[in-house]
Chain A
């Protein structure tokens, strides 16, 4: 409890107090404070418990790099956000923040016993330990580990906020509004082009916010930018990723900094920005040092302490020791001293330090220990002192202090540069990777370019220590609790590439993505391996730069706007007649029409019986439709489909089977020849776009000499199927100009005429096995014609039926549904559709594949019917089929059930299945093992009703 508010200084508004709570206790700060600065000012040093060992942790950084101080912010039901970094959370009145990963309280965490047992949690622990029985993992280890290791809890209630999204275009996009970014924006703006300047912090300024000497300049530059019409400045906006061709995605946080009752409008806004040039001015992040006890609360980055003092007016301790390997630590120490923070000592591993720094320290009466390293920290929940030793090995010397500042050098923030596939080169002076080459119109300026002077240093991460590496508790990755010795262990166990070491140790894999740990981990691995870092490599940076809410990524695409919902022109009628819907390939389709208290089974049974005994009407408008026109239309279809088309007379229909070149069924449908040069094709509901794309592909790229035009007409025609023995009587009174007599209009014929006064293409086709017609009318007349047919149907006891009944009726006849009874590996012969393949045709798409050795080999899965021994047992679709139910596991799977229903017509269940060598198994009993017991079934032909087809005649 040692941090305190300095008497003056900072950019906070000391006249405006803000009240908030942390872990339920009342706290306060000033307007302009971050959650971290306000809590530090009140002496809070303990902010969280670590991921694996539940070690007490304090603040490490003052920005997005913060790995330890993760909090959950509660803004009301559904507005609970976990894993926010306390230094990046602006306080406001009523803010409710809660610490994470502690049980039961932050101060007395029972699970910290892990810390004692940490010898049993080495790198690769999860991989090694849990090669135990699955049951033990599920019942014992996983629940324990989920309790032990974790970040904040995921929200469980619906997010009531909404999120905006926009596209933007500009000549120059500048990411990062520190001095370098602001200068770049001003320069670009002067040329008159559109400039967007984005910055993740509450206000622009970056590093200048922690340097009062630059505030006057900053105010002037901000005002200048604000006054320019061609400049858009977005603060609280994080560029989360750079994608191809200077496409940058950024998330703007609009309301989280406001009190809940002041928050209006969308919570966040996702910007998709396409820029002519992108300038990255993302700065650099200070590196921690790796030594025993470097994670005790009170040990933090020197740059963070400087920011807390100069930007927020908060001293992080009353007696502060600086541990530096870089000049910037001395500069920060002197700046802190000037701001009123008591710097007790500067310890530097380097013997040679620039004389001006040493003189500055002497003038400030700061004790200097050159050539020394901190070797341990005393204190558990807060720093009480440090031990330092010459070169890390000599006799230890105690220094009293309550905060230790680490100055380990700097890591340029090259994340977005790397997203854009820019290459990096190792810079020895920086001890870091800096940007090298890019193929984008992209450049880095300032610190992230490696072009900013922080002075000299000897960055290496690990400090020399008296203890051997494998005994040390020096942390590299604070958020994932990875120690230097874990990296040593990974190397000892044979890992050489940093990509492998990273995954084995989890270094850099936490929500901070290694912003403070990647380079230290790399240099430690390099040291253990005795190989240069450039040979070990750098892990890949991927978006997002910081964790991002799903809400902003989703934007408006949720609920009704999640994806388009296609409705037929008859959809409203179905709704008003009580339809229960199902979605099929973005179409909303009526599944069944329950009456009274009917459930689905009862409704479907009634619909099925009525179609078979009288007549039913079905909205088939979703069928894919393609108009094929041109002098070569028949030739084209002949090449695409398996069956012959040239011989089809105008006025006739044909079932078409479409294969891929691999020989497997892709789609099917009935098509009609309307004229020598015109066909009306139908496809499956889900296959329409796919089939048109495939046909266009062949037409444009293989057979561009053919005179053929393809047009999607799916939504131009409403299709009303009228099926059942009374079908003809229902439509007859409504027709004009079409002779419906069986002689004039046989099965699989098409006629053009008029119905209810509008043009129609009338198909005599049946997907039910009954006498049937499909009435195609222009979509705008679909509802009117449907209602007319419905009214006429009422005189004959007609029922409206949905997709479920359609499925049962077609299964009774053994008609397949492509994608249900086929799975992309089924040939026409497998599906029992060998009859649909034109044997005399020299070629069609997929023909050559039907002669491949594996396709003609015996034992392929074939479509068969299954009749369960218990006629009331309905098999589960997808259930696996075996020959011997007593065979020990793993059993030999013969295939699976593809379609299964209760058939009201037959008074029993029916099923279709794909079974290895199925057609040779007719009459055989097979077995379907299910959790509730094995079901036996007899193999039969996949044709359960009216095999002679006599009902087609009505």
Chain B
């Protein structure tokens, strides 16, 4: 079971308190109607799925309830860092 550092609670807590939230830094377009079908498909479904550093979202569901971002190595599962939503990509 992973230990995940919540950047809001500033504590490492067991994985069971968290919920995974998919790839990070995929912003909803301000006006989706301006998107072509291809652009919208990209936004909805196309993900980077890297081997190695992955920027991803987690929610401290059974804690403070906040969404935050993390960089995790998909090979080792080691968290490089976690940071608050809205902060620049690390």
A residues with CB within 8 A of B:
243-245, 247, 272, 274, 421, 439, 661-662, 693, 696-698, 700-702, 704, 842-843, 847-849, 852-853
Contacts and interface: CB of A to CB of B under 8 A. Distances in A.
Contacts, number: 59
Contact of A843 (B31, B40, B44, B78): B31
Across chains A and B, which 10 residue pairs bring their CB atoms closest together, nearest first? Answer: A848-B32, A244-B2, A700-B67, A245-B3, A247-B1, A702-B28, A701-B85, A439-B76, A701-B67, A848-B40
B44 A693 contact: no
A849 B44 contact: yes
Interface of B: 1-3, 15, 19, 21, 27-28, 31-33, 35, 37, 40-41, 43-44, 57, 59, 61, 65-67, 75-78, 85-86
Contact of A847 (B1, B32, B65, B85): B32
A842 B35 CA distance: 13
Nearest to B40: A848
Contacts of B27: 702
A852 B37 contact: yes
A853 B37 contact: yes
Contacts of B66: 700
26 contacts: A243-B1, A244-B77, A245-B3, A272-B1, A274-B3, A421-B75, A439-B76, A661-B28, A661-B43, A661-B44, A693-B19, A693-B59, A693-B61, A696-B59, A696-B67, A697-B21, A697-B67, A700-B67, A701-B57, A842-B31, A842-B33, A847-B32, A848-B35, A848-B40, A849-B40, A849-B44
Given A662-B44, A697-B21, A848-B32, 15 more contacts: A245-B1, A421-B76, A439-B76, A661-B28, A693-B59, A696-B67, A700-B85, A842-B31, A842-B33, A843-B31, A843-B32, A849-B44, A852-B37, A852-B41, A853-B37
Given A661-B28, A693-B19, A843-B33, A852 B40 contact: yes
A244 B67 contact: no
A439 B79 CA distance: 11
A272 B3 CA distance: 14
A843 B35 CA distance: 12
A849 B1 CA distance: 37
B32 A704 contact: no
Given A245-B2, A701-B67, A848 B33 contact: yes
What is the predominant secondary structure among interface residues of chain A facing chain B? mixed
B88 to A, nearest CB: 14
A244 B1 contact: yes
A349 B43 CA distance: 65
B81 to A, nearest CB: 15
Contacts of B15: 244
A722 to B, nearest CB: 35
Nearest to A854: B37
Contacts of B86: 701, 704
Contacts of B21: 697
Contacts of B59: 693, 696-697
A847 B27 CA distance: 16
B63 to A, nearest CB: 13
Nearest to B19: A693
B1 to A, nearest CB: 5
Nearest to B22: A697
Given A421-B76, A661-B28, A696 B65 contact: yes
Contacts of B65: 696
Contacts of B85: 700-701, 704
B14 to A, nearest CB: 8
B36 to A, nearest CB: 10
Contacts of B32: 843, 847-848
Nearest to A700: B67
A697 B19 CA distance: 12
A274 B2 CA distance: 10
Contacts of B75: 421
Contacts of A696: 59, 65, 67
A661 B32 CA distance: 10
A629 to B, nearest CB: 16
B16 to A, nearest CB: 11
A367 to B, nearest CB: 54
B6 to A, nearest CB: 13
A842 B19 CA distance: 32
A635 to B, nearest CB: 15
Contacts of B31: 842-843
Contacts of B76: 421, 439
A702 B2 CA distance: 27
B12 to A, nearest CB: 9
A600 B49 CA distance: 50
A662 B28 CA distance: 12
Given A661-B44, A662-B44, A696-B65, A439 B78 contact: yes
Nearest to B1: A247
Nearest to B21: A697
A701 B83 CA distance: 13
Contacts of A661: 28, 43-44
Contacts of A702: 27-28
Contacts of A421: 75-77
A841 to B, nearest CB: 11
Contacts of A244: 1-3, 15, 77
A272 B76 CA distance: 21
Nearest to B27: A702
Contacts of B43: 661
Nearest to A703: B28
A849 B37 CA distance: 9
A856 to B, nearest CB: 11
A189 B76 CA distance: 30
B59 to A, nearest CB: 7
Nearest to B43: A661
Contacts of A849: 40, 44
Contacts of B40: 848-849, 852
* Interface core residue of A244, A274, A843 (most chain B CB under 10 Å): A244
Contacts of A847: 32-33
A847 B59 CA distance: 26
A817 B1 CA distance: 37
A421 B75 CA distance: 9
Contacts of A704: 85-86
A849 B75 CA distance: 34
Contacts of A245: 1-3
Contacts of B33: 842-843, 847-848
B4 to A, nearest CB: 10
A243 B2 CA distance: 8
Nearest to B61: A693
A842 B33 CA distance: 8
A704 B84 CA distance: 13
A70 to B, nearest CB: 32
Contacts of A842: 31, 33
